[in-house]
A and B are shown apart, each in its own frame.
Chain A
């Protein structure tokens, strides 16, 4: 009964939505010309990075805040005493592979961070690769699950956001939020991205490592 009703509603919704999409007028010029025109002032040469950290920097600032809140929520609902599974024996092959892969992933992460200024890449991708490395190390039993966030972890997780916020506050005198002076924009963006990479990597890894019940905590 409920399946049928949901199915009919979904079909109707899909029909209306597709009709609306197909009925849209031809697109105007939109925002790309504006982005292209302002690229010279952005401090970077890759348009997506320019939008992410310069033109719409406040979106990214608030997004990092959302991530922090999500991690806080996760820590709040998580049981304080987790059932830690004894964990099956780890394949030595996996452990060796993880040992070999982890330094490579760090190199790839740093490269992605650096590449973000001029080509696809940036803090988000770099952080994702670093976090994936941490998860891999955890699954290979090289890195224990995290229990309570200790001081260094708290500093690392909030550090990037605080650097971003500090830059935003310092530039408030200029009139608008996160309006970098074009001469220093490149350096400021690199500073913010470096901070964000560390914070986001710890945050994304934390989403997994605070939840994980696999393996032993050392």
Chain B
């Protein structure tokens, strides 16, 4: 077993684990945070697939912008739950 394969297997396991935790998270807050972690792990997976272009885009868009959008939506939710804007 080469070091590369060991790393790939570890990364694959972590990806699946983080996706599972994201989907099974008890609160939306935790789901969003775990999704950002998942996005960063995806960027690593793209790098392992020799796709640095996608890795760059995934880190900036998949984890960064999508995470910001989801967190902003969470803020709106919290304000509404708190009664009034």
A124, B73: Cα distance in complex, Å: 24
Closest Cβ neighbor of A120 among chain B residues: B52
Contact residues of B: prevailing secondary structure: helix
What is A's interface to B at a CB cutoff of 8 Å? 48, 83-85, 112, 120-122, 124-125, 128-129, 131-132, 135, 139, 204, 207-208, 211-214
B-side interface residues, number (CB < 8 Å): 17
Q: Given that A121-B53, A131-B65, A204-B61 are contacting pairs, would A83 and B85 also be in contact in the complex, using a CB cutoff of 8 Å?
A: yes
Report whether A128 and B57 are in contact in the complex, using a CB–CB cutoff of 8 Å.
Answer: yes
Q: Which residues of B contact A207 (CB under 8 A)?
A: 65, 69
Interface residues of B in 55-79 (CB under 8 A from A): 56-57, 60-61, 64-65, 68-69, 72-73, 75-76, 79
A135 to B68, CA, bound (A): 8
Query: Nearest-CB distance from A48 to chain B (Å)?
Result: 5
Residues of chain B touching chain A, judged by Cβ–Cβ distance below 8 Å, are: 51-53, 56-57, 60-61, 64-65, 68-69, 72-73, 75-76, 79, 85
A141 to B7, CA, bound (A): 41
Residues of B within 8 A of A120 (CB): 52-53, 56
> Is A128 in contact with B85, judged by CB distance below 8 angstroms?
no
A residues less than 8 Å from B60 (CB atoms)? 125, 128-129, 132
Identity of the chain A residue whose Cβ is nearest the Cβ of B64 in the assembled complex: A132
A contact residues around B76 at 8 Å (CB) = 213
Find out whether the CB atom of A208 lies under 8 angstroms from the CB atom of B79.
no
Bound: A88/B53 CA distance, A: 37
Contacts of B52 in A (CB 8 A): 120
Closest to B76 in A: A213
